[in-house]
Structure 1
Amino acid sequence: MTETLTTARPGTRKRAEGFWPLLIRRFLKHKLAVFGMVVLVLLALVAVFAPLIAPYTFDGQDLTIIGQPQPPSRAHLMGTDQLGRDAFTRVLYGARISLMVGLFSALLATGLGTLIGALAGYYRGFIDTLLMRFTDVVLCIPLLPLVIVLSGILRPSVPLLIMIVGGLSWMGTARLVRGQFLSLREREFVEASRALGGRDNRIMFRHILPNAVGPIIVSTTLSVGGAIMLESALSFLGLGVQPPTPTWGNLLNYASQWLTAAPWLALFPGLMILLTVLSVNFLGDGLRDAFDPRN
């Protein structure tokens, strides 16, 4: 049996693959993550261009059919509600609020959690103990009842709802970032920067934080799905964004009165919530696998 050896010619060695091309290649191998990303991009485009796509205004009424929801038809793809409003149009406009609350509250929670976790993990000692015990106290408070109480008192607008949801969802990110900083602060590149006179804020946010960005991105994507579910639950209970502005949650609230006579009113916003949250979770799984150095 003969064995063939292949020798590379001088100057033809394969160049090492860069970090971002390698990351993209790993991500594209995860088919569900790619599907989730495509779905989320399409939903974002639909939300942004809803006034151009929707055939009617979100509060426009067909006065000839008021009183009884109408089933899907050529004129109304998802039917109409009891006030003669087009369900397809209201689902499109509802995507704008639900996605906005989900995205920006997740970004707010990530920002707060990253700051608190970075301070706790880098300085350790008294600061770490103080910040982590505060985090533990907030974690002990049931999230949904607290958000319900605040929403019931404040009757929030969209910006205020983002602040409430994001301001009460940062704890998991804080603990994650703390663990990353505790590990990375002892690495050689941090010691070298400290020996060269680097200031603490430069070391934390210029040297350590970029090396912890992978888990933070994954945590952010998964937080979006949780924020959308929370906003939908609040709107379903009548404590989120108030009518006449449509969200997927308050569309389900309206539809709850017609589940037997007009189930399509609940079917379409419910499917949109399901599809969005599944896509976010698929995307988070793909990013987690792509950032995992063991892959």
Structure 2
Amino acid sequence: MTANVIDRPVASSPRSTGFRAVVRRVRGDRAAVASAVAIVLFAVVAVGAPLVAGLSGQDPYTYHLGTLNGFGAPKGTGGGISGTHWFGVEPLTGRDLFAIVTYGARTSLGIGLAATVMSIAIGVLVGVTTGFFGGWYDRGMSRVIDVMFGFPSLVFMIALTAIVPGGFPKPVLVVLVIGFFGWPSVARVIRGQTLSLRQRNFVVASTAMGGGSWHVIVRQLLPNLAATISVYATISIPSMIGAEAALSFLSVGVTPPTPSWGRTIGDAVGWVQTDPMYLVFPGAALFVITLAFNLLGDALRDALDPRRADSARPGRAASSKPGGARAAASKEAGR
């Protein structure tokens, strides 16, 4: 029985890390709720891109040259917006912009999520092992992380995507490149958290009772790192989506005619003075999804912060006594 108690992962603050408590705090943040709704909508659009684009009766690959004037610009106002083309059409090709943005959500979100999973997996593995084992392994990997922080990753990404044979799937290559260069920051954060948890009583006790290294890592450390990993993953997704957009903007990301927000924005830059509407919709989609993930990540960080729950307890205790509510309000006003 004693072994079972010691072996149980101990959270830093059960009240603050309980799932229901976290959900309740996030639901109390209107910006977080709106961000979650936006993310779900974008995810639905990405998964059901053929069905969503089909609502307008268009696809992102068909040329509609009849919608263009003699200079390759869309006819009419708003970039060729009409009942047939809800967001207008692409200059030079006449492809439907609504379908491009819809299918682009699948490309950008898919690459961003896959690259985040890869970087988080590598970063957590390196961070928790270096923090737990220490010694020469920790010192060596710390130097590797320092080198990667100082490495011109964008230049290397551009060079690598340019020299890889054309037969290799570009979306997979972009995921591998972005994910590989995204793990050092994760590893550094997780290593610091692991160094702190390694000194906790439940880890020391489990080790003293004969628990193996990987048993301690899997059963003790990772459950207590789950909150940090979740928050960091949520905050990392926008940077991964932005990295994919940057590569596509520089014409080294996914290749045409595969729809991508970054490549569409890159193509739109040359038409800003002639047809600025071509930039509005893909730019707005990229802005909204990155903002939503950032706001949701901030809300999760606040909801999972043990200090927030601890600081809230005195206020509740004070409010249960005569005059306690007024004292708690005065304390909050004085902050």
1:104 to 92, 110, 114: 114
Bigger mean CA offset, 127-136 vs 137-146: 137-146
Contact 1:68–1:83 (Cα < 8 Å) also in 2: no
Give the equivalent residue in structure 1 for 2:321: none
TM-score (norm 1): 0.91
Q: Secondary structure at the match of 2:291?
A: helix
Q: Distance between the aligned counterparts of 2:243 and 2:268, measured in 1?
A: 18
Letter of the 1:58 partner, please give it.
P
Cα drift, residue 18 of structure 1: 8.0
Report the alpha carbon displacement of residue 78 of structure 1 after superposing the two structures with TM. Answer: 0.7
CA distance in 1, matches of 2:253, 2:213: 41
Q: What SS class does the counterpart of residue 182 from structure 2 fall into? A: coil
Quote how far apart the aligned CAs of 1:257 are: 2.4
CA distance in 2 between partners of 1:75 and 1:208 (Å): 55
Aligned equivalents of 2:160 and 2:190: distance in 1? Answer: 28
> TM-score w.r.t. structure 2 length?
0.81
Write the letter of the residue equivalent to 2:141.
L
- Give identity over the alignment, percent: 39
The reply to whether residue 73 of structure 1 matches residue 82 of structure 2 is yes
The aligned counterpart of 2:52 is 53
2:326 is matched with which residue? none
Give matches, 1:86-105, under 5 Å.
86-105=96-115
Question: What is the Cα deviation at residue 123 of structure 1?
Answer: 0.6
Distance 2:270 2:185 in 1: 37
Inter-partner Cα distance in structure 2 for 1:17 and 1:101: 32
Aligned to 1:28: 27
Deviations 1:238-286 (A, max 9, x none): 0000001010011112212221221111111011111011001001101
Query: How far off its partner does 1:61 sit?
Result: 1.9
3-state SS of paired residue (1:274): helix
Cα distance per residue 1:215-250 (max 9 Å; x no partner)? 111111111100111110110110000001010011
Distance 2:213 2:110 in 1: 34
Tell me if 1:186 matches 2:199: yes
Q: Is structure 2 residue 296 aligned with structure 1 residue 283?
A: yes
Ranges in structure 1 where 5+ consecutive residues have no aligned partner: 1-15
Cα offsets for 1:70-92 (capped at 9, x unmatched): 42112111101121211001000
Equivalent residue for 1:141? 151
Q: How many angstroms does 1:95 deviate by?
A: 0.6
Whole-Å separation in 2 of the counterparts to 1:78 and 1:57:
13
Counterpart residue identity of residue 64, structure 1? G
**Counterpart Cα distance in 1 of 2:17 and 2:249:** 47
Match of 1:224? 237
Counterpart residue identity of residue 53, structure 1: V
What is the rounded CA distance, in whole Å, between the counterparts of 1:78 and 1:206 in structure 2?
Answer: 51
Paired AA for residue 185 in structure 2: G
Inter-partner Cα distance in structure 1 for 2:240 and 2:41: 19
One of 271, 274, 279 as aligned partner of 1:266: 279
* CA deviation profile, 1:148-188 (whole Å, cap 9, x unmatched): 22222226611111010001111111001001110111111
Q: Shift of residue 143 of structure 1? A: 2.4
Tell me which amino acid in the other structure corresponds to 1:146. F
Partner AA of 1:113 in structure 2: G
Task: For 2:220 and 2:249, locate their aligned partners in 1 and report how far apart those are by CA, in whole Å.
Answer: 44
- 1:126 maps to 136
Alpha-carbon deviation of 1:110? 0.4
Where 1:170 maps in the other structure, the secondary structure is helix
Aligned to 2:64: 62
- Distance in 2 (CA, whole Å) between partners of 1:17 and 1:95 is 34
- What RMSD in Å do the two structures reach over aligned CA positions? 1.5
Of 140-149 and 214-223, the range deviating more from structure 2: 140-149
In terms of mean alpha carbon deviation, does 73-82 or 159-168 score higher? 73-82
**Cα-to-partner distance string for 1:87-111 (whole Å, 9 max, x where unaligned):** 0010000010000111110111000
Instruction: Pick closer, same or farther for the CA change 1:87–1:17 going to 2, 3 Å.
Output: closer
* Unaligned 5+ runs, structure 2: 1-14, 309-335
Shift of 1:126: 1.0
CA contact 1:110–1:173 (8 Å) conserved in 2: yes
**Secondary structure, counterpart of 1:134 in structure 2:** helix
In 1, are the aligned partners of 2:265 and 2:282 still within 8 Å (CA)?
yes
* Residue pairs, 1:168-187, within 5 angstroms: 168-187=181-200
Q: Are the aligned partners of 1:69 and 1:83 in contact in 2 as well (CA < 8 Å)?
A: no
| Secondary structure of residue in 2 paired with 1:138 | helix
Picking from 210, 214, 219, the partner of 1:206 is 219
d(CA) in 1 for partners of 2:17 and 2:306?
14
Alpha-carbon contact 2:16-2:22 (below 8 Å) kept: no
**Structure 1 residues 153 and 17, CA, compared in 2 at 3 Å: closer, same or farther?**
closer
